């Protein structure tokens, strides 16, 4: 079980931000030889290793680099310096339903989103009923999803994502939406994943949730990794910093 599935070694991620927003500002700055780009460090020399089957909470104030870490793990960004090693299929739940198209029906979106998450058509057909059942959206499945409420939207997206058979599940503050009943259902599903050995990364601002659900947690602040350890201690430290 103690085989690393995610490894960050000396990972730094910089962004270039254009300082001058308009052409009118940009040209004079260029002529005067001022700097036209500003560097912003989102992650600074981050090192950690996550083993297969672990459930890790990621906490930190807004803008501390949580999402950047998740994006590096999902493979959509590459680090400026250092190395990110991920050995498994990632199912991202970052801002659910990224690939949803509002004009398409729930049914069409299940197929579209399933394909985006890497499912074969046969697999989607096989899981279809179970996805719809989990989402409890049977009556609305042939409606364009632009008519869905945000809760319904999230339920559909979550239902698809949990059927992907992920090795690494990224859950980014999604449980803030949806009613209590559905939240409980999501947690039950995630407990199941935990038992079956899926690695889960859980981003949340709710310390009780992190303490309850994750044995260990990562604390990020100002682009630096402050601490990585048992979630009880880490959450306490976070609460001390942010009374």
Partner 1 sequence: MLLLISEIKAIIAHRELLWQMTSREIKARYKQSILGYFWVILSPLAQMLVMSFAFSLILRIPTNSASNIPYSIFLFTALLPWTLFSNSLGSACNSLVGSSSLITKIYFPRTILVISTIIAKIIDFFFATSILIVYLIIYQIPITLNILWVIPIFFIQQIFTLGLSLFFAAANLLYRDIQYLLGLILTLWMYLTPIIYPADIVPDRFRILFQLNPIAVIVNAYRQVILGGGEPKYSSLLIALLLSFATLLVGLAYFKSREKIFADNI
Site residues for partner 1 per CB under 8 A: 15-16, 71, 74-78, 90, 92, 94-95, 98-99, 101, 103-104, 108, 111-112, 114-121, 144
CA–chain centroid gap for 142, Å, is 28
Q: Which is nearer to partner 1, 29 or 115 (CB)?
A: 115
CB contact set of 175 (below 8 Å; sequence gap of 6+)? 183, 186, 187, 204, 209
Helix (H, G, I), strand (E, B) or coil at 214: coil
Name the minimum Å distance from CB 112 to partner 1.
5
Contact 218, 48 (CB under 8 A): yes
Q: What is the Cα–Cα distance from 62 to 66, expressed in whole angstroms?
A: 8
| Beta carbon of residue 54, minimum distance to partner 1 (angstroms, whole number) | 22
Nearer to partner 1, 74 or 226 (CB): 74
Question: Please, what is the minimum distance in Å from the beta carbon of residue 118 to partner 1?
Answer: 8
Of 50 and 93, nearer to partner 1 (C-beta) is: 93
Q: Considering the complex, what minimum distance in angstroms separates the CB of residue 94 from partner 1?
A: 5
- Alpha carbon distances (Å) from 121 to 66, 114, 115, 127, 131: 33, 8, 7, 10, 14
Nearest residue (CB) to partner 1, 32 versus 122: 122
Tell me whether residue 56 or residue 157 sits nearer to partner 1 (CB atom).
157
Beta strands 55-59 and 168-172, pairing class: unpaired
CB of 78 to partner 1, least distance (A): 5
> What is the C-alpha to C-alpha distance for residues 91 and 74, in angstroms, rounded to an integer?
8
For 127, other C-beta atoms within 10 Å of its C-beta total 20
């Amino acid at each position: 079980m103690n085989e690393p599935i995610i490894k960050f070694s000396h990972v730094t991620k910089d962004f270039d931000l254009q300082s001058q927003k308009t052409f009118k500002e940009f040209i004079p700055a260029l002529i005067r030889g001022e700097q036209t780009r500003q560097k912003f460090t989102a992650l600074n020399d981050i090192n950690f290793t996550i083993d297969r089957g672990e459930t890790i909470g990621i906490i930190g104030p807004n803008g501390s680099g949580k999402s950047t870490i998740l994006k590096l793990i999902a493979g959509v960004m590459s680090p400026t310096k250092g190395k990110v090693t991920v050995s498994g299929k990632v199912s991202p739940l970052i801002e659910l339903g990224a690939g949803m198209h509002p004009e398409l029906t729930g049914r069409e979106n299940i197929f579209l989103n399933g394909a985006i998450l890497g499912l074969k058509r046969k697999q989607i057909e096989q899981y279809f009923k179970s996805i719809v059942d989990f989402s409890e959206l049977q009556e609305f499945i042939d409606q364009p999803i632009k008519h869905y409420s945000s809760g319904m939207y999230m339920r559909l997206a979550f239902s698809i994502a949990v059927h992907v058979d992920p090795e690494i599940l990224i859950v980014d503050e999604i449980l803030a939406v949806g009613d209590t009943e559905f939240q409980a259902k999501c947690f039950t599903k995630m407990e199941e994943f935990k038992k079956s050995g899926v690695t889960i990364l859980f981003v949340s601002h709710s310390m009780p949730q992190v303490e309850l659900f994750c044995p260990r947690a990562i604390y990020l602040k100002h682009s630096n990794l402050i601490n990585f350890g048992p979630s009880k201690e880490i959450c306490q430290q976070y609460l001390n910093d942010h009374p």
